[in-house]
């Protein structure tokens, strides 16, 4: 009687173990099936978004390159002239400043020579009274020379200021004229850039799709290992 009871108990245990294993296998199967379904959906989404990139982003880049080339071609002669005029303006400013510097140095050198002669003649006049009469004339000449140098330098400085302002205005007018002439090309280039920037969202979407696919693929492999497959 005890042996029969033990046999029945063992049979019941074996049956329960079989049912538990079967239930777990079913659970793993459902999990793996769900994992596979997610991976299939990831692939479908990734392929769809990659197609969007091919349809939008690739042509956008081609259009942008063409717009940039068109702008560069049209802008080249304007930029060449503007660069030459800018260099001419800078050379003029440099030359005028050098002239002012040279005039100042030459004038001051002349004044120093006159001052030295006047000082020497004053000393000589103390001993030679015949020289006394020419001292006031030398002083007047020195004063006039100082005033002339001051006025000459002022005129040169004013001329530099006037020409600098005029040159800057001319260059600004040239830039404005260039911008107006290039506006259609500039607008087309700006539009191409904006369109590409907008459609680049699809590349971001593709990167997100790839990350989702990799995550789901990893989960699928982990679940397979857990299921003993």
| pTM summary value | 0.64
Task: Answer whether residue 75 is part of any domain.
Answer: yes
pLDDT at 129: 84
Task: Answer whether residue 227 is part of any domain.
Answer: no
CB 100 within 8 A of CB 159: no
Task: Answer whether residue 209 is part of any domain.
Answer: yes
pLDDT digits (tens, 9 = 90+) for 142-172: 999 999 999 999 999 999 999 999 999 999 9
pLDDT digits (tens, 9 = 90+) for 26-38: 677 888 899 899 9
Burial of residue 67 (CB within 10 Å: 0-12, 13-18, 19+) is buried
Task: Answer whether residue 228 is part of any domain.
Answer: no
Radius of gyration from C-alpha coordinates of the chain: 47
Weakest-pLDDT range from 14-23, 34-43, 93-102 = 14-23
Task: Answer whether residue 93 is part of any domain.
Answer: yes
Neighbours of 108 (CB within 10 A): 13
Domains in the chain: how many in total?
A: 1
Domain region containing 199: 2-222
Q: Read off the DSSP letter of residue 133.
A: T
Task: Answer whether residue 229 is part of any domain.
Answer: no
Task: Answer whether residue 79 is part of any domain.
Answer: yes
Please name which of 79, 85, 87, 81 lies closest in space to residue 182, comparing C-alpha atoms: 79
When comparing pLDDT for 204 and 5, which is higher?
Answer: 204
Residues 182 and 149: their CA atoms lie apart, in Å, by 49
pLDDT digits (tens, 9 = 90+) for 53-73: 999 999 999 999 999 999 999
Q: Helical H runs in 182-200?
A: 183-199
Task: Answer whether residue 189 is part of any domain.
Answer: yes
């Amino acid at each position: 009687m005890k042996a029969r009871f033990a046999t029945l108990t063992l049979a019941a245990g074996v049956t329960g173990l079989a049912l538990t294993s079967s239930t777990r296998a079913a659970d793993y199967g459902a999990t793996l099936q769900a994992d596979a379904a997610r991976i299939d959906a990831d692939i479908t989404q990734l392929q769809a978004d990659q197609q969007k990139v091919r349809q939008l982003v690739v042509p956008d880049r081609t259009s942008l390159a063409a717009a940039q080339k068109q702008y560069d071609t049209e802008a080249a002669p304007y930029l060449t002239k503007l660069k030459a005029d800018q260099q001419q303006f800078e050379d003029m400013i440099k030359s005028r400043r050098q002239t002012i510097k040279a005039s100042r140095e030459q004038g001051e050198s002349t004044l120093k020579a006159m001052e030295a002669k006047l000082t020497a003649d004053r000393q000589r006049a103390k001993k030679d009274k015949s020289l006394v009469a020419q001292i006031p004339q030398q002083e007047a000449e020195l004063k006039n020379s100082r005033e002339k140098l001051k006025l000459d330098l002022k005129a040169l400085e004013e001329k530099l200021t006037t020409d600098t302002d005029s040159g800057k205005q001319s260059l600004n007018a040239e830039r404005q004229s260039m911008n107006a002439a290039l506006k259609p090309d500039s607008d087309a280039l700006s539009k191409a850039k904006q369109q590409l920037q907008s459609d680049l969202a699809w590349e971001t979407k593709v990167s997100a799709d790839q990350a989702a696919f990799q995550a789901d693929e990893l989960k699928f492999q982990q679940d397979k290992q857990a299921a003993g497959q």
